[in-house]
Amino acid sequence: AGATSVTFGLNPATILTNTATQITATAPAGPPSSVNVTVTTPSGTSNPLPYTYTPTPTPTLTTLNPTSGPTTGGNTVTLTGTNLAGATSVTFGLNPATILTNTATQITATAPAGPPSSVNVTVTTAGGTSNPLPYFYIAAPAVSDLSPHFGPAAGANTVTVFGSNLTLTSAVSFGANQATAITVVSDSQLTATAPAGSGTVVVTVTTPGGTSTAATGNPYYTYLGAPILTSLNPAHGSEVGGDSIVLVGSNLTYTDAVTFGGVPASFSAISDTQVVATSPPGAPGTVNVVAHTPAGNSNALPYVYDPA
């Protein structure tokens, strides 16, 4: 009772509780060795008892998950290893990460920002600093253009995406819908099969570096309804061709071809409901007139070539 000090070797401990028969104290730090513990009261200093400081094991890292991330940081990285308890810091290169959880075998941390490069990740505990593991900062992808920019509402057509930092693409989205059959051609080009959709959407690419935005370039893709023809005016003309024929229907704005019996005709898309075509020469008789857009072929309407 009335202890004035508890010492571990030459170092004072913090006394937590004190009765006539028991003291609890917080041990001070000490080098790996055996030291004498004594208690001092107003009556003097006690006999010593040995206390052994054991070496604190050095932390070891075995894996990182993921092993790469965006240059902006902010993503959660899981570090797995041994002797990780009590981590005082996790660093990505020279930059400290924010430790979220910490056990003897696993740490989760929020990666700091960093330039596009490879850096060493280490963990520091009272036992020292771990071995390094590589982590790669990946620049965010960018989409600059598409080919084509239009397609059928049913999807299933192949679209080429142009941009930068596309090598590690894991997903391509047309608005909220995921594309399939992604093939990376180079760091600046990939192809993907468009999903079904409607309206005009932004095409984005996702890599470990993040997801592209519509801030630059022309990443817009428009879904088109299939072209429909309802009438031809007139529905007949001379076999020598040269007649102006008005094709009436719907979804005709993006008409890119008009054929009379498979023969291409010159044309001009006037509106979403009208296309004016010049009939090519043809043999007397009836042929099918078809309009084509990026959404596909229209239904066929009969056109009659009159003998000259």
Q: What is the CATH number of the domain that holds 204?
A: 2.60.40.10
Pair 126, 75 in one domain = yes
Pair 129, 148 in one domain = no
Pair 215, 176 in one domain = yes
Pair 129, 147 in one domain = no
Return d(Cα 147, Cα 233) in angstroms, integer.
Answer: 34
**Tens digits of per-residue pLDDT, 28-69?**
999 889 999 999 999 999 999 999 998 889 999 999 999 999
Q: Are strands 301-306 and 236-238 parallel, antiparallel or unpaired?
A: parallel
- pLDDT confidence of residue 252: 97
Pair 81, 146 in one domain = no
Pair 134, 187 in one domain = no
Residue 251 · residue 227 · CB < 8 Å: yes
Find, among 68, 72, 218, 223, the residue nearest to 142 by Cα.
218
Pair 78, 102 in one domain = yes
Give me the domain span that covers residue 146. 142-224
Residue 230 · residue 208 · CB < 8 Å: no
- pLDDT confidence of residue 242: 96
**Tens digits of per-residue pLDDT, 248-271?**
999 999 999 999 999 999 999 999
Count the domains in the chain: 4
pTM for the structure as a whole: 0.72
